[in-house]
C-alpha cells in the first residue's frame, strides 16, 4: 500500500475546504448538504468523511480558515490599499464571511473558536501599529489594541456592505479611515 505523505493529506484537506467554501458561499451553511460538497470536491464520500466526519466539522474548518489576515505595514501606511484588497476578494469570500458571522452568532462553540482567530488578528494589527509608530519616531503610548479593533471593525462593516452590493468607498470614507489611523498611528 503506498504511503500517504503529510503533504498529500494537507493538499487533499485544502481541496475539500476549497470546494466547501464555494458551495457554502453560494448557498449558505444550512442549505448545503455534505453530498454537494463531496460532489464539488471531486473526491469520494469516504475520502471527504475521513477528513471531516460531519458537516459541523466542515463548517468549523471553513469558518476558521475564512478569517484572513488582511493588514500589513504597507497597507497601514496606505489605508486605501486595504479597501482595494477587500474589494478584490469580496465576491465569494465576502458572502462566505456573512455566513460565518451568522453561524457563529448562534453556535457558542464555533463563536469561541472564531474569537481566538479574531483576537490573534487584532493583536497582530496592534503590533504593526506599534512598529509603524516607532519607525516614524512617534511616542508608543496609544492603546494600539483598541485602534486595531476600530480598524478591523470598520473593515468588517465595509466587507458586509460589499456583500449586499453596496460599495461605500468614497474620498470621504477614505479620509475618515485615515483619520481613525492617523490620529493614533
Nearer to a copy of itself, 39 or 152 (CB): 152
**DSSP state, residue 5:** P
Shortest Å distance, C-beta 104 to a copy of itself: 4
Q: Does 175 engage in binding with a copy of itself (CB under 8 A)?
A: yes
Is 138 a binder of a copy of itself (CB under 8 A)? Answer: no
**Which residues, 6+ apart, have CB-to-CB distance to 46 below 8 Å?**
none
Nearest distance, CB of residue 23 and a copy of itself, angstroms: 12
- Beta carbon nearer to a copy of itself, 43 or 155: 155
What is the pattern of x (binds a copy of itself, CB under 8 A) and - over residues 50-89? ----------------------------------------
| Alpha carbon distance 148, 123 (integer Å) | 8
Is 156 a residue that touches a copy of itself (CB under 8 A)? yes
Per rule CB under 8 A, count of chain residues that contact a copy of itself:
61
Q: Which string of DSSP letters, residue by residue, matches 12-80?
A: HHHHHHHHHHHHHHHH-STT--HHHHHHHHTS-HHHHHHH-SSHHHHHHHHHHHHS-----HHHHH-HH
What does the alpha-carbon distance between residue 73 and residue 128 come to, in Å, rounded to a whole number? 6
Q: Does 123 bind a copy of itself (CB under 8 A)?
A: no
- Determine the distance from the C-alpha atom of residue 142 to the mean position of all C-alpha atoms in its chain, rounded to a whole number: 26
The binder of a copy of itself chosen from 26, 39, 40, 47 (CB under 8 A): 26
Residue 7 binding a copy of itself, by CB under 8 A: no
Query: In terms of Cα–Cα distance, which of 161, 157, 162 is closest to 180?
Result: 157
Give the nearest distance from C-beta 91 to a copy of itself in angstroms: 10
Amino acid at each position: 500500500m503506498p504511503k500517504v505523505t503529510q503533504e498529500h493529506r494537507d493538499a487533499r484537506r485544502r481541496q475539500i475546504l476549497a470546494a466547501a467554501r464555494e458551495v457554502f458561499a453560494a448557498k449558505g451553511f444550512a442549505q448545503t448538504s455534505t453530498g454537494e460538497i463531496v460532489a464539488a470536491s471531486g473526491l469520494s464520500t469516504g475520502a471527504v468523511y475521513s477528513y471531516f466526519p460531519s458537516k459541523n466539522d466542515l463548517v468549523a474548518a471553513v469558518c476558521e480558515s475564512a478569517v484572513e489576515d488582511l493588514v500589513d505595514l504597507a497597507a497601514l501606511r496606505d489605508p486605501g490599499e486595504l479597501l482595494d484588497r477587500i474589494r478584490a476578494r469580496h465576491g465569494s469570500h465576502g458572502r462566505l464571511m456573512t455566513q460565518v458571522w451568522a453561524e457563529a452568532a448562534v453556535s457558542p462553540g464555533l463563536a469561541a473558536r472564531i474569537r481566538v482567530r479574531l483576537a490573534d488578528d487584532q493583536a497582530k494589527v496592534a503590533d504593526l501599529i506599534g512598529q509603524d509608530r516607532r519607525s516614524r519616531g512617534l511616542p508608543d503610548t496609544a492603546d494600539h489594541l483598541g485602534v486595531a479593533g476600530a480598524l478591523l471593525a470598520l473593515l468588517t462593516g465595509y466587507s458586509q456592505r460589499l456583500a449586499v452590493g453596496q460599495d461605500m468607498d468614497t474620498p470621504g470614507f477614505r479620509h475618515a479611515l485615515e483619520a481613525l489611523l492617523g490620529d493614533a498611528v
